Structure 1
Amino acid sequence: MGRVNDTKIALVTGANKGIGLAIALALGAIGFTVAVGARDGTRREEAVERLRAAGVDAFGVALEVTSDDSVAAAAATIERTAGRLDVLVNNAGISGRLDGGAQDPTTLDLDVLRAVLDTNVFGVVRVTNAMLPLLHRAGSPRIVNMSSNMGSLTLRTGPVMAAYAPSKSMLNSVTAQYARRLADTNVIVNAACPGYVATDFTGFSGTRTPEQGAAIAIRLATLPDNGPRGGFFDDEGAIPW
């Protein structure tokens, strides 16, 4: 499956549904070849078919972000298929169980906290570090970490969720650390908040469409070389941390 050398390649994790699929569609619409990262094989192939039906050059990549082996294999697949990576969107995330006070801080289930951190933070680090060698081969590489304003210590939005919200606070902090480390490279890293989007993640109770939620990711994925680094943004601009 040879790729044209001047075509930009993007990997979107958790791209089989919701905001991830909307990001994949939007990147494809502006000419990216999209690697659809997803752990469920059937859903992954369905997403690839949906993207191709919309005119997007897409291919599936088996990707379980909590598995070192899976992430290493995904990097090898992208290297073999595309040879480099221009954009990484770390979109895969989980909210964690809520039943029985599992995310009430006074009764916090530490297994839930571990599971949420493993996907939302450790998974992002795992994927980012595996993909960095491929990103360094690109002319203007961009990393977008999909966060949430629930992680803002200033805003404190949303319900009390003592596993999910701190996972996004930590993701924002990790994003800043990557930006500092990569300051003298051409890799630009930022965090994005899509807003309260109606997907199965929110029980379809959000006020925004997946397309609206994807817009900030596209903006950060296509920043100019003098764009911001290590920031946290939504459609309105910088978000208080």
Structure 2
Amino acid sequence: MQKVAIVTGANRGLGFETCRQLAKRDIQVILTSRDEAQGKAAVEKLQAEGLEVVSHPLDVTSAESIEHLTQFIRNQFGRLDILVNNAGIARDPLGDPESSIFNTKVSTIHETMETNLHGPLLLCQALIPLMKEHQYGRVVNVSSGAGQLSDMNTGFPAYRMSKTALNALTRIFANELEGTNILVNSVCPGWVRTDMGGPNATRSVEQGVETIVWLATLPDDGPTSGFFRDRQPIDW
């Protein structure tokens, strides 16, 4: 039976390329985007390549939006196999006074956490039960080396804290799902040339999604509760 995947924040960048690569593996992909028009435009590009991709609007900070998506999946496909939590924001860019922890506003931290942590939490709570029905699931949380406690540094405080918290979420869900064939992992795609990464980043989008797609298509004996870059485990 054809597998079904959801990729959040997928109208561009890493999410868009993840959709392309999963669809090329004969996986039915649901491309989600907060902006419905941008999501539809992205899907049209992929459909023009002969790929099985559909769009659905999704605001990861809205429980109501997540519920609408869940009902759409259940009614349209009756199953879910892969969840890629890719949607993310960075509100404290380098050079901004808020890049110092001494100047960071609580409102910036709250906004960042709402998208980068609360969104994946709500999506996992809503969608993993669909995976349990078929005893199969792959959850990939797109994190960052900026969230590694082992190499924690200054700058981007809200973003760093949100990704550290996302890694904790990975470990908690993976632990509760032990033995269910639902594998939950975090991934650092590296510094990628996207709108967020900028034009000077060292990696192409294709390189950035390689480990994401690998984790999304792991065999049943694949790893869980891990943090990976270039298909290799890295320190938390």
TM interval, short-chain normalised? over 0.9
CA deviation vs aligned residue, 1:1-21 (integer Å, no higher than 9, x gap): xxxxx1110000001100000
Report percent identity of matched pairs: 37
Distance 1:204 1:138, change over 3 A: farther
- Mapping for residues 95-134 of structure 1, pairs under 5 Å: 95-98=90-93, 100-134=96-130
Q: Which residue of 2 is the match for residue 88 of structure 1?
A: 83
- Root mean square deviation of aligned Cα: 1.3
User: Structure 1 residue 182: deviation in Å?
Assistant: 0.5
Helix, strand or coil at the partner of 1:201: coil
Helix, strand or coil at the partner of 2:56: strand
Q: Which residue of 1 is the match for residue 220 of structure 2?
A: 225
Match of residue 212, structure 1, among 207, 210, 230: 207
Q: Which residue of 1 is the match for residue 146 of structure 2?
A: 150
Task: State how far apart, in whole Å, the 1-side matches of 2:231 and 2:221 are.
Answer: 19
Q: Which 4+ stretches in 1 moved above 3 angstroms?
A: 97-100
Is the CA contact 2:31–2:55 (under 8 Å) kept in the aligned structure 1?
yes
Is the CA contact 1:198–1:204 (under 8 Å) kept in the aligned structure 2?
yes
Q: Which residue of 2 is the match for residue 30 of structure 1?
A: 25
Q: Which residue of 2 is the match for residue 3 of structure 1?
A: none
**What are structure 2's unaligned runs of at least 5 residues?**
none
Paired letter, 2:194: T
CA deviation vs aligned residue, 1:103-127 (integer Å, no higher than 9, x gap): 3101111101000000000000011
Q: Does 1:46 align with 2:37?
A: no
- Mapping for residues 50-89 of structure 1, pairs under 5 Å: 50-89=45-84
Task: State how far apart, in whole Å, the 2-side matches of 1:175 and 1:185 are.
Answer: 15
Paired letter, 1:74: L
User: Structure 1 residue 236: deviation in Å?
Assistant: 5.0
Paired letter, 1:154: S
State TM-score, norm by structure 2. 0.96
Is the CA contact 1:86–1:139 (under 8 Å) kept in the aligned structure 2?
no
Helix, strand or coil at the partner of 1:154: helix
Paired letter, 1:58: V
Helix, strand or coil at the partner of 2:149: coil
State TM-score, norm by structure 1. 0.94
- Mapping for residues 169-180 of structure 1, pairs under 5 Å: 169-180=164-175
Is the CA contact 1:199–1:205 (under 8 Å) kept in the aligned structure 2?
no
User: Structure 1 residue 97: deviation in Å?
Assistant: 3.8
Task: State how far apart, in whole Å, the 2-side matches of 1:38 and 1:236 are.
Answer: 27
Aligned residues, how many?
A: 235
